[in-house]
Amino acid sequence: MYAERASRLTGAVVWTNTPTAPGTGRVLPDGCMDLLWYDGRLLVAGPDTRAHVTEGAPGPWAGVRFYPGAAPALLGVPAHELRDRRVDLTDLWPADRVRRLAARVNAAPDPASGLEEAALSRAAETDPPDPLLRRIVAALDAGRPVATTAGELSLSARQLHRRSLAAFGYGPKTLARVLRLQRALRLARAGTPLAETAARSGYADQAHLARDVRELAGAAPGELLGRRG
Enter the DSSP assignment of 14: E
Span(s) in the chain for CATH 1.10.10.60: 131-225
Longest dimension (CA), the chain: 53
Mark 96-123 as b/e (b = at least 16 C-beta within 10 Å). Answer: eebeebbeebeebeebbebbbbbbeebb
Which residues make Cβ contacts (< 8 Å) with residue 92, sequence separation at least 6? Answer: 44, 75, 76, 77
pLDDT at 228 over 60: no
Neighbours of 4 (CB within 10 A): 13
What pLDDT score does 19 carry?
A: 77
What pLDDT score does 200 carry?
A: 96
Mean residue pLDDT of the chain comes to: 94
Mean pLDDT score, 138-150: 96
pTM of the model: 0.92
CATH code for 131-225? 1.10.10.60
- 150-190 residue pLDDT tens: 999 999 999 999 999 999 999 999 999 999 999 999 999 99
- 55-93 residue pLDDT tens: 766 779 999 999 999 999 999 999 999 999 999 999 999
Which residues make Cβ contacts (< 8 Å) with residue 138, sequence separation at least 6? Answer: none
Shortest CA distance to 153 belongs to which of 136, 172, 173? 136
**Read out DSSP for 41-66?**
EEEEE---SSPEEE---SS-EEEEEP
pLDDT at 113 over 50: yes
